[in-house]
Amino acid sequence: MIEANAPEDRPALFASLRYPGAGRYFLGLSLSMLGTWMQSIALSWLFVHELGATGMLLGLLGVVQFGPTLLLGAWAGALADRMDKRRLMLVTQIAMGCTALALAALDFANRESIAAVLVISGIGGLASAFDTPVRRSIIGDVVPKSALPNAMSLNTGVITSSRVLGMAMGGFVTKFAGTSWCFLANGLSYLAMLAALSSMTNRRHASAPPTSRGGARDAVRHVWETPMLRVAMMATTVVATFAFNYQVTFPLLVADEFGREADGLGALFAITSVGSFAGALTSARRRAPSLQVFLFACIGMGVSAMALAASPGFLAANVCSVPMGYCGGLLMSQLSGMLTAHSDSSMRSRILALQSVVFLGSTPIGGPIIGFIADHFGPRWSVASGGFFAAAAGVLGLAKGRRLRPPAQDVPAGSEQLSGVSARS
C-alpha cells in the first residue's frame, strides 16, 4: 500500500515527496552518497598522486569498479525483481560500507598499494552491481507509477547535489587531512541508508517478493521492441562509454594541464555537479520525459565537453563544466523517466539494471580507451574525443527519433505523449 498523507498542493517539483517512504529514502540516500563522493575524490587522488598510477591504470580501476555491473547487472536486476528489495539492499549496503572501512584501515596503516586498492574496489564493485538496480527500483515501492518520473528525476537530483558537497568536502579533506579520513567517512555514511531502509514500513516491502519469473532477456527484448527506448539506450551507450569517464579525465586534467591539487579536483567535480543538479531539477519539473530533450542534452553535453577541453585555464574549465554537467544530469533523468514510464512494475528492476549495465558497465570499455588517449595525446584530447562522440550520438539519434511515436498503450494516463516532439518543456 502506498503511503499518501501529504497535502495535494505541494509544488510539482517535489510531487513524489508526498509519500513519506520516499522522503525517508531520499534523506538516507543523500547522506550515504555524500560519503561516496568524498571517497571518489580521495580514491582518484590516492591512485594517481600517491601510488603513481597512469591513465591506463585509472582506466583499470574503472574496470574493477564497474566491470561486475557489465557482467552481472542485468542478472542482478532479475534477482531484485524476485526478492524482497529492502532486505537485498540492506546486504549490499553493508558490503559496500565494509569495503570503504577496509580502504580506511589500509590507508591509516600506510599499507595501501595499487593491487590492494584494485582488489578492494573490485569487491565493492561486485556489491554495487547488485545494489544499483534494487536501489533505483525500490522507489517504485513507495510512490505510484504516475509519480515515478518525478521520483527518478529527484533521485538523480539527490545524487548530484550530494556530489556537489561531497566532492568539495573530499578535495578539502584529502588536501588538509588525508585520503584515509574520506574512506572512513564513506564507511560510516552507509549507516544513514541502513537506518532509512530499516525505518521503511511500507507494506510492499514487508510483503512477499514479486511474482515475476522473467529473465533479463525480457528487459532487453522490451527495450529493443520499443523504438523510443532503443534509440535512447543506443545513444546512452555511446555517451557513457566515451563522455562520462570523469574519474579518468578530471584527475589528469586538473593536475597535468592546470597544475592544481586535490582541492582543485574537488572544485571541478563539485561545479560540474551543480550543473547536473540543475539538469535533474529541470527534468523533475517536466510533466513527461522526452526523447527529443534527451537527445539535445547529449549534443549539449558533447559541445560543452569540447569547450572544456579547449579551456585556456582552470577558471574557464569550471565555467564550461556547468553546462556539461547540466546536460549530463538532464539526459540521465530523462532516460530514467522514459524507462520507468514504459515498464511494468514486475520488470522495473531489470529495466533499470539494463540502464546501469549501459551507463556503468560501459566504463570498463571506455575507461581504458580514454586513459590511453590521455597518456599518449594528453588529457585535453581525451575530454574532447568524449565530447565529439556524445554530440554525434545526439545528432544521429535525432535523425532517427523524429520518425518515432510511442505506442498509445504505453503512454501513462494523464500525461502527455512521450515523443520528443509533443512533450512540453
Let me know the angle formed at the C-alpha of 277 by 19 and 201, rounded to the nearest 5 degrees. Answer: 20
Let me know the angle formed at the C-alpha of 154 by 131 and 320, rounded to the nearest 5 degrees. Answer: 100
- At 377, the amino acid letter reads F
pLDDT value at residue 10: 40
Helix axes 227-242, 379-401, angle to 10 degrees: 170
Distance, CA of 358 to CA of 338 (rounded, Å): 15
- At 241, the amino acid letter reads T
First CA to last CA across the chain, in angstroms? 32
Average pLDDT score over residue span 95-100: 95
Q: Is the pLDDT of residue 48 over 80?
A: no
Give the SS3 label for residue 58. helix
Per-position b or e across 31-42, b if 16+ CB within 10 A of its CB: bbbbbbbbbbbb
Q: How confident is the model at residue 305 (pLDDT cuts 50, 70, 90)?
A: very high
Q: How confident is the model at residue 101 (pLDDT cuts 50, 70, 90)?
A: very high
Residues 346/25, Cβ–Cβ less than 8 Å: no
pLDDT value at residue 201: 58
Average pLDDT score over residue span 279-299: 86
pLDDT value at residue 308: 93
Q: Is the pLDDT of residue 94 over 70?
A: yes
How many CB atoms neighbour CB 118 within 10 A?
Answer: 17
Please state, rounded to an integer, the average pLDDT across all residues of the chain: 79
pLDDT, tens digit (0-9, with 9 covering 90-100), for 130-183: 888 888 778 777 777 677 767 777 777 777 777 777 877 888 898 888 899 999
C-alpha cell of 23? 522522503
How many CB atoms neighbour CB 348 within 10 A?
Answer: 27
Q: How confident is the model at residue 316 (pLDDT cuts 50, 70, 90)?
A: very high
pLDDT, tens digit (0-9, with 9 covering 90-100), for 363-408: 677 878 888 888 889 889 999 999 999 999 999 999 886 766 544 4
Helix, strand and coil percent figures for the chain, each rounded to 5: 80, 0, 20
Residue 237 neighbours by CB under 8 Å, 6+ apart: 358, 362
Nearest partner of 46 among 273, 38, 363, 368, judged by Cα: 38
pLDDT value at residue 219: 76
Residue with cell 558533447: 302
Q: Is the pLDDT of residue 235 over 50?
A: yes
Nearest partner of 249 among 126, 149, 384, judged by Cα: 384
Query: In Å, how far from its chain's centre is CA 224?
Result: 22
Distance, CA of 171 to CA of 85 (rounded, Å): 34
pLDDT, tens digit (0-9, with 9 covering 90-100), for 183-226: 999 999 999 999 888 877 544 433 334 444 456 677 788 888 88
Average pLDDT score over residue span 51-65: 76
pLDDT value at residue 345: 66
DSSP label at residue 425: -
Residues 336/342/346/350 CA torsion (nearest 10 deg)? -40
Q: Is the pLDDT of residue 323 over 90?
A: yes
Q: Is the pLDDT of residue 355 over 80?
A: no
pLDDT value at residue 319: 94
Say what the pTM is.
Answer: 0.66
Distance, CA of 415 to CA of 286 (rounded, Å): 10
Distance, CA of 168 to CA of 264 (rounded, Å): 9
Distance, CA of 122 to CA of 225 (rounded, Å): 34
pLDDT value at residue 141: 75
> In Å, how far are 42, 231, 391 from 291, measured between CA atoms?
36, 9, 15
Average pLDDT score over residue span 47-51: 75
Average pLDDT score over residue span 285-292: 81
Q: Is the pLDDT of residue 306 over 60?
A: yes
Q: Is the pLDDT of residue 84 over 60?
A: yes
Q: Is the pLDDT of residue 424 over 60?
A: no
Distance, CA of 133 to CA of 354 (rounded, Å): 8
Nearest partner of 253 among 151, 384, 362, judged by Cα: 384
Q: Is 315 exposed, middle or buried (0-12, 13-18, 19+ CB in 10 A)?
A: exposed
Most confident stretch, 41-45, 59-63, 281-285: 41-45
Average pLDDT score over residue span 84-102: 92
Per-position b or e across 129-152, b if 16+ CB within 10 A of its CB: bbbbbbbbbbbbbbbeeebbbbbb
Average pLDDT score over residue span 244-260: 82
C-alpha cell of 408? 498509445
Q: How confident is the model at residue 260 (pLDDT cuts 50, 70, 90)?
A: confident
Q: How confident is the model at residue 297 (pLDDT cuts 50, 70, 90)?
A: very high
pLDDT value at residue 15: 67
Average pLDDT score over residue span 396-422: 52
